[in-house]
């Protein structure tokens, strides 16, 4: 039996979530945004899906004001579900976070004021966490010691390569004013990453989903789980935050590629549904039969589909 695609299935996946900006005492951000509810819904949807998620990565700005109570709410909402998924839970610092409360509550370590860098092994995939936060500021920086640490790590390749997770992504933004709060000296980071086994960089901070690649390495920024920026705001508007686009990102690990796909946190309006029983039938077919049934525009299947789509 031939696989359905020349690529075969993903080896496994990661769930990438960013910018929850939770407030203490369950208060809603801008009085209307309940990111905790969205997060619980997203985790539930992913847990009950068919994706083999081995790690859940949060790329920073987890508590809007760095309140210990907000971290506790986050931890208590996330830890049990991630445990049920059998996945690793990875927390990354953002500019809204405060290291002492973050490390005590989320990492269950003594409160620290040092950068909270870390490295995880996800079944052969090395996930490197870089803390780009600067205490008391919103822009991002990496200290020379952090880059040296990263370089030392990358000197030895990992079996499935590496992903770097950080809050301030080392990429340009079309939202001009966000440039002020970007990661400083991004070229220094790229100089360390280039030519290493890094297969991708996961980031947050921008509050919209965006992707690029630089020096051969893809960068994927997950949208925020609280509010996001409207990139087509009218002239004369520098920033417009909207209560929408609550999404996570599915990071699928293939032998030779890493693929990023947006996952809506909420149940959305359904317009069609196909059961997976049909997939089993297709699996039994030869490649030629699959093309005759699914690809040929005039096949019985596609003719019926066309009628349904056009409402005729």
Residues that bind Fe ion (CB under 5 A): 19, 61, 94-95, 205
Minimum Å distance from CB 61 to Fe ion?
3
Residue with smaller CB distance to Fe ion, 16 or 205: 205
Our measurement of the distance from residue 219's CA atom to the centroid of its chain's CA atoms, rounded to an integer in Å, reads 11
**Shortest Å, Cβ 170 to Fe ion:** 14
* Residue among 208 and 260 whose Cβ is closer to Fe ion: 208
Closest separation in Å from C-beta 164 to Fe ion: 17
C-beta of 67: minimal distance to Fe ion in Å? 15
Nearer to Fe ion, 97 or 117 (CB): 97
d(CA 312, CA 308): 6
The distance of closest approach from Cβ of residue 298 to Fe ion in the complex, given in angstroms and rounded to an integer, is 50
Q: Which is nearer to Fe ion, 126 or 205 (CB)?
A: 205
Name the residue among 232, 229, 187 with its Cα closest to residue 205: 229
Give least dist CB 20 to Fe ion, A.
Answer: 9
Nearest residue to Fe ion, by Cβ distance, number only:
61
Given the complex with Fe ion, which of 140 and 200 has the nearer CB atom?
140
Nearer to Fe ion, 95 or 249 (CB): 95
Q: How many angstroms separate the CA atoms of 21 and 198, rounded?
A: 28
Spell out the residues 6+ positions from residue 80 whose beta carbon is closer than 8 angstroms to its own.
none
Closest contact distance (angstroms) between CB of 76 and Fe ion is: 21
Would you state the structure tokens that stand for residue 19, as one six-digit string? 């910018």
Task: Pick the closer one to Fe ion by CB: 199 or 205.
Answer: 205
Q: Distance (Å, rounded) from C-alpha 218 to C-alpha 211?
A: 7
């Amino acid at each position: 039996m031939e696989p359905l695609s020349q690529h075969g299935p993903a080896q496994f996946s990661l769930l990438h979530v960013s910018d929850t900006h939770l407030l203490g005492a369950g208060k809603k951000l801008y009085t209307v945004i309940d990111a905790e509810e969205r997060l619980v819904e997203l985790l539930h949807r992913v847990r009950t899906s068919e994706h083999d998620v081995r790690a859940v990565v949060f790329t920073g700005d987890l508590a809007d004001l760095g309140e210990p109570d907000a971290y506790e709410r986050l931890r208590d909402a996330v830890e049990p579900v991630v445990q049920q998924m059998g996945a690793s839970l990875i927390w990354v610092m953002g500019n809204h976070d405060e290291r002492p409360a973050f490390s005590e509550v989320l990492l269950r370590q003594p409160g620290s004021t040092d950068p909270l860098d870390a490295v995880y092994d996800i079944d052969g995939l090395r996930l490197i966490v870089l803390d780009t936060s600067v205490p008391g500021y919103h822009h991002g920086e990496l200290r020379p010691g952090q880059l040296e640490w990263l370089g030392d790590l990358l000197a030895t390749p990992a079996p499935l390569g590496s992903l770097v997770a950080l809050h301030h992504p080392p990429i340009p933004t079309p939202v001009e004013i966000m440039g002020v709060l970007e990661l400083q000296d991004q070229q220094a980071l790229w100089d360390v990453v280039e030519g290493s086994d890094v297969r991708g960089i996961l980031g947050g901070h921008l509050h919209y989903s965006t992707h690029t690649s630089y020096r051969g390495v893809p960068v994927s920024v997950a949208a925020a789980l609280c509010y996001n920026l409207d990139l087509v705001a009218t002239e004369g508007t520098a920033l417009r935050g909207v209560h929408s686009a609550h999404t996570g990102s599915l990071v699928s690990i293939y032998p030779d590629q890493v693929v990023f796909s947006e996952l809506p946190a909420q149940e959305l309006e359904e317009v069609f549904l196909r059961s997976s029983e049909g997939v089993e039938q297709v699996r039994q077919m030869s490649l030629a039969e699959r093309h005759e049934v699914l690809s040929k525009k005039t096949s019985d299947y596609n003719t019926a589909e066309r009628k349904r789509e056009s409402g005729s």
